Structure 1
Amino acid sequence: MRHTYVVKNDGAPQTPGITVPAQLSTEGRTRHEVARLLLEDGPMTAVVVADRLGISPTAVRRHLDALVADGEAATRDAPRRGPRGRGRPAKLFLLTEAGRARFGHAYDDLASSAIRFLSEHAGEDAVRAFAERRVASLVEPHRAAVTARQEPSGRAEALAAALTREGYAASTRHVGSGEQLCQHHCPVAHVAAEFPQLCEAETEAFAELLGTHVQRLATIARGDAACTTHVPADDPRGRARTPKDGGTGE
């Protein structure tokens, strides 16, 4: 459902149905309006965009070229009408998935609603099973690389590298009693704020994979700057865990 209001943008063209973030510059607002028009009514030619926004085709093409260069828009030939004439067919501009991302998604709300439905109709055990399945799909592809390292500190480094490849921007740093595994980004933080089972299952999976007891010190879901997990140099219980890599414990 489209908006029917307009945000005043201090000189940038104003178009019914299009709103722009107030913090953008005039140039940025115009580009945002061009992208919004493609989102709502595209694909369309530069001439049509210029006519709809009330600015020159030259200015519109500059913004469209920038969107294409940034991977936020793409082009395709417009279908010809009537007999084939001379010259190139008109170019239609349309947003790519990256271009659509500038307007945000409702994935967090959808995921929360889905898990809430699961909880209400199948119970907390089902939510827990889902959380465990999710984290297993995250770490299992990297199990061999992590368990190839013998010490917990080495495994923590390998796990951080694996998590970074999965989009968690992870790193490790040495502290007196072991390593701290820090995840500077969490793609599911908003969902985990409502369903801490996601964090709990992740912590348990890390402990099993690293072969030692770990302690979650902070989480982005609780408002902390990063998800921080302490990995001790030695298992405080005085024995090694038995990870699923075929090793033996005592």
Structure 2
Amino acid sequence: MTEVLAGQSLVLEPDERTRDRVLTAVLEHGPVSAAQLGKLLGLTPAAVRRHLDTLSRHGVIEVKLISNAKSGAGRPARRYVVSRQGQTEIGDDYLEIAKLALTELSANRGDQGVIDFAERRFAAMEASYRPLVDAAGSDVAARSKALAAALNADRFVATSNSLNPHSAMAAEQLCQGHCPIQELATTFPEFCDAETEVFSRLLGVDVRRLSTMASGGHVCTTHVPTGRAVVRKRDTAPADASGTSPIISNHQQERP
């Protein structure tokens, strides 16, 4: 890994490169234990703790004490997370670290590795939003508005506007004015795909991404069909000639 400062190339020492790997792993997997980090990175316990101690002294990471969720007995376990100071100091470096981590993941496991990572990231969003969306009932338009409210509460600056009401072409236009991972999604559109799939599952219908900020749009816009003639459950998608449902990447569906 090379950093460029004032027009000069600065090659990081092995310890610094390893420390960056430890920090990246804490960002990706935290709260995480020292033992888990060792297994993830192929480092000895002593090496992991040395780098964790250095990061802790600089205030970049901190320890969270996690109680035993099953029994509540015993001493709380030590887990490492990036501190608020660390998040502030990392700034744009986090983006570069994340891109590096995802690039290495893709190199080691192919596109499926990035897809799996993106799906795991958005699984937490789906679990968090599911009760809020389900509380809106079975009406798709109401569910879309509930989803927009949930997104808005998480500062996605979201709205859900009704189009062509009371017709077979009725739809909601779900818009997001802020994307915290826009730069990452520009390089790895799998994140947009994973989010769109979550929206489909939460709303119970096939949705279509019309634009994303990652692909140059001013907002992320998702078309949510609500008219009876067009609404269909995802698990009843028509099969192609081979008898299987066609699978199309959501970012391939986008319209300019």
Measured against the shorter chain, the TM-score band is 0.5 to 0.7
Aligned to 1:26: none
Quick one: structure 1 residues 238 and 158, their matched pair in 2 at CA, closer, same or farther if it must change by over 3 Å? closer
Once the two structures are superposed, residues 135-180 of structure 1 have per-residue CA deviations (whole angstroms, 9 ceiling, x without a partner) of 1112211201101222111111111111122221111111122110
Aligned pair partner of 1:160 in 128, 131, 148: 148
Q: Does the 8 Å CA contact 1:152/1:234 hold for their aligned counterparts? A: no
Distance 1:118 1:102, change over 3 A: closer
User: Paired residue for 1:140?
Assistant: 127
2:187 aligned with 1:194: yes
Contact 2:148 2:158 in 1 (8 A): yes
* Corresponding residue of 1:87: none
The answer on whether the counterparts of 2:141 and 2:171 sit within 8 Å (CA) in structure 1 is: yes
Match of 1:214 in 2: 207
2:95 counterpart of 1:108: yes
Instruction: Determine the structure 2 residue equivalent to 1:123.
Output: 110
Q: 2:162 aligns with which of 174, 180, 199?
A: 174
| Cα distance in 1 for residues equivalent to 2:174 and 2:135 | 18
Q: Answer yes or no: is the 8 Å Cα contact 2:174–2:223 preserved in 1.
A: yes
Structure 1 segments unaligned to the other structure (5+ residues): 6-95, 243-250
Q: How does 1:66-85 map to 2 (within 5 A)?
A: none
Give a deviation string over 1:202-243, Cα, whole Å, max 9, x none: 11110111011111001000111100001111365554457x
Structure 2, unpaired ranges of 5+: 8-82, 165-169, 236-256
Matched residue pairs, number? Answer: 153
Distance in 1 separating the partners of 2:105 and 2:4: 31
What residue is the counterpart of 1:67 in the other structure? none
Q: Shift of the alpha carbon at 1:103? A: 9.2
Cα distance change on mapping 1:2 and 1:128 into 2, 3 Å: closer
165-174 or 189-198: bigger deviation: 165-174
**How has the CA–CA distance of structure 1 residues 112 and 2 changed in structure 2, closer, same or farther, with 3 Å as cutoff?**
closer
- The separation in 2 between residues aligned to 1:207 and 1:181, in whole angstroms, is 12
Higher Rg of the two aligned structures: 1
- Distance 1:204-1:4 versus aligned 2 partners, 3 A rule: closer
Q: 2:39 is matched with which residue?
A: none
SS in 2 for 1:106: helix
For the 8 Å contact 1:179–1:232, the answer to whether it is kept is yes
Superposed CA RMSD: 3.0
- SS at structure 2 position matched to 1:228: strand
The answer (yes or no) to whether the contact 1:153–1:233 under 8 Å persists in 2 is: yes
Q: CA deviation at 1:97?
A: 5.5
Partner of 2:218: 225
- Check conservation: 2:149, 2:159, Cα contact below 8 A: yes
Q: In structure 2, how many angstroms separate the alpha carbons of the residues matched to 1:4 and 1:118?
A: 30
Q: TM-score, normalised by structure 1?
A: 0.54
Paired residue type of 2:126: V
Q: Using the TM superposition, give the Cα deviation of residue 133 of structure 1 relative to its aligned residue in structure 2, in angstroms.
A: 0.9
**Matched residue, 1:205:** 198
Quickly say closer, same or farther: Cα 1:238–1:168, change in 2 above 3 A: closer
The one-letter amino acid paired with 2:219 is A
Normalised to the residue count of structure 2, the TM-score between the two structures is 0.53
Q: Percent identity?
A: 39
Alignment of 1:86-105 (within 5 A): 101=88, 104-105=91-92
Distance 1:192 1:232 in 2: 25
